[in-house]
Structure 1
Amino acid sequence: MGLPRQKLAAAYQSACRAEIEALKPGNVHVFADGHRMSAQQFLDSAQASSRPLTDTALPVGRRILEAVQATRETVGVNTNLGILLLSAPLVAAAEADGDLRENLGKVLRAMTMDDAGAVFAAIVLASPGGLGSAETHDVREAPAVPLLEAMREASQRDMIARQYVTDFADVFGTGLDAYEAAVARGETDMWPVVAAYMAFLTAFPDSHVARKHGIAIADAVRQQASAVKTRLDQTAGEEARISQLLAFDAELKARHINPGTSADLTVACLLVHSLRSELACG
Structure 2
Amino acid sequence: MTTILITVSLAAIAVAIAAAWMIRPEPPSPAMRRALAGRKYAHRGLYDNSGKAPENSMPAFKAAIAKGYGIELDIRLSGDGRVVVFHDAGLERMCGDGRLVSGCSFEELSSLRLLSSDERIPAFDDFLAAVSGAAPLLVEFKTGLPGGPGAGELCRKAMEALDSYEGDYVVESFDYAVLEWFRANRPAVMRGQLAMGLRCYVPAMGARAAAALPFRRRAMLSWLLYNRRGRPHFVSYRFQDAGLALGLCRALGAMSAAWTVKTPAEGASLARGWDAIVFEGYLP
Work out which structure has the larger RCO, using CA pairs closer than 8 Å and 6 or more positions apart in sequence: 1
TM-score range, shorter chain: 0.3 to 0.5
TM-score scaled by structure 1?
A: 0.33
Select the structure that is richer in strand. Answer: 2
TM-score scaled by structure 2?
A: 0.33
Highest Rg: 1 or 2? 2
Select the structure that is richer in helix. Answer: 1
